[in-house]
């Protein structure tokens, strides 16, 4: 059951909550002025592993979209940012459930014309698999920024974000990550081992933009290339010398993604 709690406005951003897989999700909406007779396209922005919806890359994209008359929602996945839940309980499947609940909220808004998705890193995996499950009748277009499909291979190797473990003999409920005091749950690892990332994602037939930096040391750009090669309607934008977080070209990359979306939606 979808539960909505309205919030307030802060610097043109409306905050609200949506019931997610592990509790209430913090979400932020930016939308243009819309008359009663008209509607606007909406893009849902998905952050990555250990991140939150206030990442500069995502806020820049949201601001750029607004200039083009496109609304956006940024939200924190369960166990992240201001959302409820424990990071240890987070998995890719329950993040997909989180995103589907945000999509359901958007579908209930009378001013929403259509819905697109954009995801960075693990958020790209979640967005891609969700689009694959829902199809292009629900998801108008899709942007994947350094999509972390490597997470399944990382789990098979027993090495995730610097944490080492035996994936086939997990006795503890979690492994300690070497940063932020965060705990990677056993459920995350077990689900990642058999996660059908490409098999699910590539069912999507709408327009896709894949962006990836050639110096990405977290997710090699070949994982982005595999997405692009598998989609029927895809554009690949490789950025020479760029890293996983788009730190060298953050402003330009945000604008590139927003401009591509604007071409699909306006």
* Domains detected in the chain: 4-265 (3.40.50.1820)
pLDDT of residue 12: 75
208, 118 in Cβ contact below 8 A? no
> In sequence order, what E strands does 165-225 have?
174-176, 183-185, 208-213
pLDDT of residue 6: 34
Where do runs of H (alpha helix) occur along 6-87? 56-67
Chain CA centroid to CA 208, Å: 14
Q: How much is the pLDDT for 2? A: 29
CA-wise closest residue to 125 among 207, 198, 213, 20? 198
Find the Cα–Cα–Cα–Cα dihedral 236, 49, 157, 93, rounded to 10°.
-90
Please tell me whether residue 96 adopts helix, strand or coil conformation: helix
pLDDT of res. 37:
82
Beta strand extents in the chain (DSSP E only): 4-10, 13-20, 23-30, 40-46, 71-75, 112-120, 139-145, 159-160, 163-164, 174-176, 183-185, 208-213, 234-239
Report mean pLDDT in 10-residue bins for the chain, 266 residues.
Answer: 32 88 97 90 98 97 96 98 97 98 97 97 98 98 98 97 94 93 96 98 98 98 98 98 97 98 95
Is the full-model pTM beyond 0.85? Answer: yes
């Amino acid at each position: 059951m979808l539960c909505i709690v309205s919030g307030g406005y802060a610097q043109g951003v409306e905050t609200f909550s949506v019931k997610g897989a592990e509790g209430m999700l913090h979400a932020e909406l930016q939308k243009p002025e819309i008359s009663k007779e008209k509607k606007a396209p909406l893009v849902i922005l998905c952050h990555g592993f250990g991140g939150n919806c206030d990442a500069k890359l995502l806020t820049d994209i949201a601001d750029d979209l607004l200039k083009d008359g496109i609304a956006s929602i940024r939200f924190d996945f369960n166990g992240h940012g201001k959302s409820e839940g424990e990071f240890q309980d987070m998995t890719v499947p329950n993040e997909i459930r989180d995103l589907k609940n945000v999509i359901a909220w958007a579908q209930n808004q009378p001013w929403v014309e259509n819905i697109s998705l954009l995801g960075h890193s693990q958020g790209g995996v979640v967005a891609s698999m969700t689009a694959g499950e829902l199809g292009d009748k629900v998801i108008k277009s899709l942007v994947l920024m350094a999509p972390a499909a490597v997470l399944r291979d990382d789990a098979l190797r027993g090495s995730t974000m610097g944490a080492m473990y035996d994936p086939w003999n997990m006795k503890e409920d979690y492994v300690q990550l070497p940063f932020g005091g965060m705990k990677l749950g056993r459920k995350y690892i077990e689900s990642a081992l058999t996660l059908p990332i490409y098999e699910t994602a590539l069912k999507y037939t709408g327009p896709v933009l894949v962006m990836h930096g050639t110096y990405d040391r977290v997710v090699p750009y070949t994982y982005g290339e595999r997405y692009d090669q598998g989609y029927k309607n895809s554009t690949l934008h490789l950025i020479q010398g760029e890293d996983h977080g788009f730190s060298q070209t953050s402003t330009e990359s945000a604008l590139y993604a927003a401009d591509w979306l604007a071409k699909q939606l306006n």
